[in-house]
């Protein structure tokens, strides 16, 4: 769909809008590049000069403290100048169009937009409109995609499991409303895992779920049997009405991850969650804070992975 838009003529990363259309080689290059950044937080000087003189704009039309903070930290560690736009108080809330906002920022000689928007396709639209030297990173658009989150999840899996071949991965919860799940499924399949299972009540699965390269399962005991990775998703209550679920307590009883249910997975299975966590709704605190949880590592890895993606896009040069 957007392969030509995301890549330069030389096949290098220009924009990062979706996992769709990106091959295993490029995804692996992102993971390998992130590997070179992951130890930087332990250095006395936590900066490299790769993007010195570049200006990156965080253009967040939806709130997200964690994602915006990790993008800001990643850009700062690459020595870029960072501008955080307060969209609630910006001209877009006074009637100025999205395109007008982009054009005004372009006039300030910026080099990259990191975009989060409630509408699916917003980042693609901006990437189609910007000047040739500008890169666009999708930090989450509607229910469509959240590719940098998916890649930091892939990085965390590779840290613990070393390779993707042969892995069985279960994604549990609100698949229907989750842009993260869509990006994770694309990445896992592109990287060659053995099986991706999605575990949820029928009301929280997309109608076309069987075309997504997954095995849909409606029972936790069956779905978690012998898996290597368990990814829990939050209930996106802001995007659903009561018709989707009888109650949160009923959801937790059937689909919440407890220590007892986790025993169905392999003994060395890791537990992940893109956050924010609803404790006692999709996951028990004893599991979220337990020895198999790598949830905080995911947050730490977010900086290195976003550094990798930003540096690759900005260093590719040329036009898409």
**Residue 52 CB coordination number (10 Å):** 11
**55-60 β-sheet, strand order:** 81-86, 55-60, 112-117, 135-141
Residue 74 confidence (pLDDT): 95
Residue 65 confidence (pLDDT): 81
Domain 3-146+300-316 = CATH 3.40.50.1370:
yes
What number is the average pLDDT over the span 81-105?
75
Residue 319 confidence (pLDDT): 44
Residue 45 confidence (pLDDT): 67
Domain boundaries for CATH 3.40.50.1370 within the chain? 3-146+300-316, 147-298
Residue 123 confidence (pLDDT): 94
> Cα 236 vs. chain centroid, distance in angstroms?
15
Mean pLDDT, all residues of the chain:
90
Per-residue pLDDT band for 46 (boundaries 50, 70, 90) equals confident
Terminal CA-to-CA distance of the chain, rounded, Å?
14
What number is the average pLDDT over the span 279-305?
95
Residue positions annotated with a catalytic role: 66-67, 94, 116, 146
CATH of 147-298, one of 3.10.105.10, 3.40.47.10, 3.40.50.1370, 3.40.50.150: 3.40.50.1370
**pLDDT over threshold 80, residue 96:** no
Known binding residues are 66-67, 94, 116, 146, 149, 179, 234, 275-276
Known binding residues for carbamoyl phosphate are 66-67, 116, 146, 149, 275-276
What number is the average pLDDT over the span 74-96?
77
| Packing angle of the helix pair 147-161, 65-77 (nearest 10 deg) | 80
Residue 93 confidence (pLDDT): 54
Per-residue pLDDT band for 143 (boundaries 50, 70, 90) equals confident
Write the pLDDT tens digit of every residue in 202-220.
999 998 898 999 999 999 9
Write the pLDDT tens digit of every residue in 157-193.
999 999 999 999 999 999 999 999 999 999 999 999 9
Per-residue pLDDT band for 90 (boundaries 50, 70, 90) equals low
Rounded distance between C-alpha atoms, residue 210 and residue 105, angstroms? 42
Residue 62 confidence (pLDDT): 83
**pLDDT over threshold 90, residue 227:** yes
Q: pLDDT > 70: what percent of the chain?
A: 90
Known binding residues for L-aspartate are 94, 179, 234
Rounded distance between C-alpha atoms, residue 73 and residue 221, angstroms? 40
Q: pLDDT > 90: what percent of the chain?
A: 74
**pLDDT over threshold 90, residue 85:** no
What is the DSSP secondary-structure string of the chain? --HHHHB-TTS-BS-B--STT--HHHHHHHHHHHHHHTTGGGSSS----TTTT-EEEEEESS--HHHHHHHHHHHHHTT-EEEEEEGGGSGGGGT--HHHHHHHHHTTT--EEEEEESSTTHHHHHHHHS-TT-EEEEEEETTTB-HHHHHHHHHHHHHHHS--TT-EEEEES--TT-HHHHHHHHHHHHTT-SEEEEE--GGGS-TTGGGGS-EEES-HHHHHTT-SEEEE----GGG--GGG-S-HHHHHHHH-B-HHHHTTS-TT-EEE--S---BTTTB-HHHHTSTTB-HHHHHHHHHHHHHHHHHHHHHH-S--
């Amino acid at each position: 769909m957007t392969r030509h838009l995301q890549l330069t003529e030389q096949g290098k990363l220009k924009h990062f809008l979706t996992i769709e259309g990106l091959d295993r080689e490029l995804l692996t290059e992102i993971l390998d590049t992130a590997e070179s950044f992951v130890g930087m937080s332990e250095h006395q000087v936590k900066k490299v000069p790769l993007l010195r003189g570049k200006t990156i704009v965080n253009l967040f039309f939806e709130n997200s403290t964690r994602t915006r903070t990790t993008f800001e930290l990643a850009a700062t560690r690459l020595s870029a100048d960072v501008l955080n736009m307060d969209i609630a108080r910006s001209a877009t809330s006074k009637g100025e169009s999205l395109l007008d906002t982009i054009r005004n920022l372009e006039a300030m000689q910026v080099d990259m937009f990191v975009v989060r928007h409630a509408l699916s396709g917003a980042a693609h639209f901006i990437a189609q409109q910007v000047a040739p030297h500008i890169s666009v990173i999708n930090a989450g658009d509607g229910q469509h995609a959240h590719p940098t989150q998916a890649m930091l999840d892939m990085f965390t899996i590779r840290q613990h499991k070393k390779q993707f071949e042969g892995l069985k991965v279960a994604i549990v919860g609100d698949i229907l409303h989750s842009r993260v799940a869509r990006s994770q499924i694309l990445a896992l399949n592109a990287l060659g895992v053995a099986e991706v299972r999605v575990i949820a009540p029928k009301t929280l699965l997309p109608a076309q779920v069987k075309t997504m390269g997954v095995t849909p399962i409606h029972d936790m005991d069956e779905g978690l049997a012998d898996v290597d990775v368990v990814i829990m998703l939050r209930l996106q209550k802001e995007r659903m009405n009561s018709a989707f679920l009888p109650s949160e307590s009923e959801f937790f009883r059937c689909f919440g991850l407890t220590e007892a249910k986790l025993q169905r997975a392999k003994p060395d299975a890791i537990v992940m969650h893109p956050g924010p966590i609803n404790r006692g709704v999709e996951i028990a605190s004893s599991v979220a804070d337990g020895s198999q949880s790598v949830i905080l590592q995911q947050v730490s890895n977010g900086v290195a992975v976003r550094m990798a993606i930003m540096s690759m896009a900005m260093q590719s040069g040329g036009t898409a």
